[in-house]
Amino acid sequence: MGRMASFCAAIFHDAEQEYFKDDERLRSNSNFDPCVSPKRKIGNKNLKYRMTKMEKKYKEAQKQAASFNLLLPEEAGFLEVNEGEDTCIIDQKDIADAVDITSSSKYFNLVLDQFGPYRINYTRNGRHLLMGGRRGHVAALDWHTKQLLCEINVMESINDVRWLHSENMFAVAQKKWLYIYDNMGIELHCVKKFNDVLRMEFLPYHFLLATCSASGFLQYLDVSVGKEVTATCTKAGRLNVMAQNPYNAIIHLGHTTGTVTMWSPNVKEPLVKMLCHRGGIRAIAVDKTGTYMATSGLDKKLKIFDIRALRQVQSYVIPLGASHLTFSQSNLLAAGCGNVVHVYKDAHLEGMNKPYMCHSVRQSVHGLQFCPYEDVLGIGHGEGFTSMLVPGAGEANFDALECNPYQSKKQRQEWEVKALLEKIQPELITLDPNKLGEVDFITMKQKLTERAERLGYDPLVKEKFEPKHKMKGRSSTGNIEKRKKKVAFDRQRVSERLIRGCDETDMIFHWTFTAPSLAHQQDLEGQTSHWGQGILPLSSC
């Protein structure tokens, strides 16, 4: 007997030493997470199996991500100069001469001095360009191949133009009403509910066209069904400064009082109201992550705000002030100051003394936008359109399942069907999208309180169970523990059924038979056969 005990102790000691060696090996690993306990400490076999399966899945995903990085064909890069030189003095012609033929062809000028100034907009995949002149000229083209899709004159003033979910349709905010055209220039709809529209923003995942008007109304149009979702009177006068947050689809509006308001179609009041400038707001831009917001005002200041904390990060003074702002996919900030365009690098991270790049046009800037997945900045001005080369502005590699610049007609059709099936409802637009996956504890508690009031008692309240003492050895420690576990199990079944929301009549009947009062339960402990006959099956709810 003593030999057996010493042998078992030796085996246990060896296993313990091996466990501590594995634990030290795990902790020496750089990827070790102290919050995650080793799997050998998990007693539940089912849980241990699921944890092992999950870890294998995570490791496989990491290996695939690392292997896919080798297949990415492009790399991001910025302008590099020698010591003592500035990148802002480099001319566009010098950049076009230094790069390859394909990249140099992306720098061009369109002289359209009859119907300007022009508002511009690129599609989400960066393939097509839409231009709208103040005097009624509208043109859509594939700017890669310079192939013109359509060109029309609407014979009235144009305030803004915007592509919809694909390059087959676009919206034009004309003098009186909102019009929808196809890529051949044929008028599809005239939406008379949207009048005096000044600015537009399209929400691609919600299929919503947000517009702000001269009368102070913020309206949403569902382009998938052609109906107005909501119309909100902001009570802030003329609205001509507008931007969207790509992260949460919140609309940012700038007002003449120097305030910026954030709006959702579900609320008639602004979610956030910030005082950003001492003068009126001239331009607003939000980066693709929804973290930083850039604003410019009549006080000739350019300010960067952290939207998460609603606080100012950086503030700069620009001599002429910025009338237009836009962020690139690599967080480059472009500002239109009169007829000069400044491009700033890392403006939200550290103070800047000079811009990254500069370019001047003949007349004042009227529209700015970085082309997605390209190192190109589109400039709409009084004499037409200019395509400016900005190295490092675009995302180097695109996701073909999300935005494919080279998609075929069949791929576009399949993408439209999938996007319509996955359309997000306007009711889900909130300031913090992460709250959509959380449990609403307040509503759950309120429902449980109302249910307790209807039933006359709280079925989730657990009374302390004291087993009745029995004779002839039936009150041994083992029997008492068995009775306690049985009562606890029955109570847990009832609690789960209540939470799942079973019918109240069945629940009362089930509670009466399976969980009677404490005194009656103690009297029936010896008659479990009669009590068990009244238990309902789980499938009855």
Whether the CB-CB separation of 406 and 385 falls below 8 Å is answered with: no
Q: Could you report the per-residue pLDDT of 47-106, keeping only the tens digit for each?
A: 888 888 888 998 888 888 777 776 676 667 788 888 878 888 899 999 999 889 998 999
C-alpha closest to that of 280 among 306, 307, 253, 305: 253
Whether the CB-CB separation of 139 and 181 falls below 8 Å is answered with: no
Is residue 530 situated within a structural domain?
Answer: no
Please report the pLDDT score of residue 67 as a whole number: 77
Q: Which comes out higher in pLDDT, residue 527 or 383?
A: 383
Q: Could you report the per-residue pLDDT of 481-490, keeping only the tens digit for each?
A: 888 888 888 8
pTM: 0.72
CATH of the domain at 172: 2.40.128.630
Is residue 413 situated within a structural domain?
Answer: yes
Is the predicted pLDDT of residue 513 greater than 90, yes or no? no
Is the predicted pLDDT of residue 283 greater than 50, yes or no? yes
Is residue 170 situated within a structural domain?
Answer: yes
Is residue 203 situated within a structural domain?
Answer: yes
Is residue 162 situated within a structural domain?
Answer: yes
Q: Could you report the per-residue pLDDT of 149-164, keeping only the tens digit for each?
A: 999 999 999 999 999 9
Please report the pLDDT score of residue 487 as a whole number: 82
Helix axes 504-514, 441-455, angle to 10 degrees: 70
Helix axes 504-514, 477-500, angle to 10 degrees: 180
Q: DSSP string covering 510-530, please?
A: HHHHHS--HHHHHHTTT-HHH
Whether the CB-CB separation of 194 and 221 falls below 8 Å is answered with: yes
Is residue 241 situated within a structural domain?
Answer: no
Which domain covers residue 160, as residue numbers? 123-233+395-425
Q: DSSP string covering 172-218, please?
A: EEESSEEEEEETTS-EEEEEEEEESEEEEEEETTTTEEEEEETTSEE
- As given in the structure block, the two tokens for residue 106 are 């992306």
Average pLDDT over residues 514-520: 40
Is residue 536 situated within a structural domain?
Answer: no
| 160 SS3 class | strand
Report how many domains make up the chain: 1
- In the chain the first and final C-alpha atoms are separated, in Å, by 57
Is residue 166 situated within a structural domain?
Answer: yes
